[in-house]
């Protein structure tokens, strides 16, 4: 079991400096459906650009 105490305010100190995209990424990477979809990618797809469909499905495309 992790020593992380989710009830402790000090455990979240790094969140105060986080930007919206940082929090969105932390949320997405914990999503079980996203994890399964990512596991379904081939090794080559993981190490290079993923498809536009994958990025759009998971909101991984941002305006510049």
Nearest Cα residue to 58 out of 30, 32, 28: 28
Q: What Rg value do the Cα atoms of the chain yield, rounded?
A: 15
Contact present, 44 and 51 (Cβ < 8 Å): no
Q: How far apart are CA 55 and CA 64, in angstroms?
A: 15
Contact present, 54 and 37 (Cβ < 8 Å): yes
Residues 6-43 have pLDDT tens digits of 788 887 887 888 898 888 888 998 999 999 998 988 88
The verdict on pTM exceeding 0.75 is no
pLDDT for 62? 65
Find the helix or strand (DSSP H, E) in which 25 lies.
helix 20-29
């Amino acid at each position: 079991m992790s020593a992380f105490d989710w009830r402790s305010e000090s455990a979240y100190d790094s969140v105060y400096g986080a930007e919206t995209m940082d929090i969105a990424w932390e949320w997405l990477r914990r999503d079980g459906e996203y994890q399964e979809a990512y596991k379904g990618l081939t090794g080559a797809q993981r190490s290079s650009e993923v498809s536009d469909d994958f990025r759009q499905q998971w909101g991984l495309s941002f305006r510049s």
